[in-house]
Structure 1
Amino acid sequence: MSTPLTCDAELDASGLNCPLPLLKAKMALNGLASGAVLKIIATDAGSQRDLRTFAKLAGHSLLHETAEAGTYTYWLRKA
């Protein structure tokens, strides 16, 4: 399977329950430059709602997301 987008950093939050994927994503974004893309992999279905809302409120761009066999993958561009 090809990755639709390139990323500057990757966060594997598999196995973590809400709100840990979101908190770890926030921490990872803090270490990235503006415009950098963070790829986030999560297994918590709640991460869909959390990351969409977080991106909107914080001004980040949710470039792409996939949901496949209980694994959710997001590409988030830092504002």
Structure 2
Amino acid sequence: MSPDDATDAVAGGAREPVVVDARGLRCPVPVIRLAAAARERGTGDLLTVWSTDPAARLDVPAWARMRGHRVVDEHEVAEGHEVAQERDVPQEREPAAAPSVWAITVELGR
């Protein structure tokens, strides 16, 4: 599933989440960006944060609980659907594996 497909999979495709792209950012920045996006939205809106930081899988649900929101979806984005960054890699060395990207969707409460 690509990051674009993640928005269609939530809530049976009834509502399309706003995506907060925090790939490549480390704790606490993914939650800070998610909180900033939440301030501009209302109850019932969906926000999906994309993150490569493993801590986000714990931090986002904790933030959601503390703020009266709920996590409605969490899944790993399929490899190969990430934004590719081109760079020169010496032939004798294979490129490093790309970090996992997690899509965590929160439904805003109060």
TM-score (norm: length of structure 2): 0.66
Aligned-pair CA distance for 1:30: 0.5
For the pair shown, the structure with the greater C-alpha radius of gyration is 2
Distance in 1 between the 2:72 and 2:38 partners? 15
User: Of Structure 1 and Structure 2, which has the larger fraction of its residues in strand?
Assistant: 1
TM-score (norm: length of structure 1): 0.90
Distance in 2 between the 1:40 and 1:25 partners? 7
Does the CA contact (< 8 Å) of 1:7 and 1:39 recur in 2?
no
Partner of 1:73: 103
Partner of 2:92: none
Q: Secondary structure at the match of 2:59?
A: helix
Q: Secondary structure at the match of 2:24?
A: coil
Taking only aligned residues, the RMSD between alpha carbons, in angstroms, comes to 1.4
Q: How does 1:34-45 map to 2 (within 5 A)?
A: 34-45=43-54
- Displaced runs of 4+ in structure 1, greater than 4 A? none
Aligned-pair CA distance for 1:62: 0.2
- Superposed CA deviations along residues 19-55 of structure 1, whole A, max 9, x for unmatched, are 0000000000000111100111000000011001111
Gaps of 5+ in 2: 80-99
Distance in 1 between the 2:71 and 2:57 partners? 11
Distance of aligned partners of 1:13 and 1:24 in 2 relative to their CA distance in 1, 3 Å threshold: same
Choose from 15, 39, 63 the match for 2:72.
Answer: 63
Gaps of 5+ in 1: none
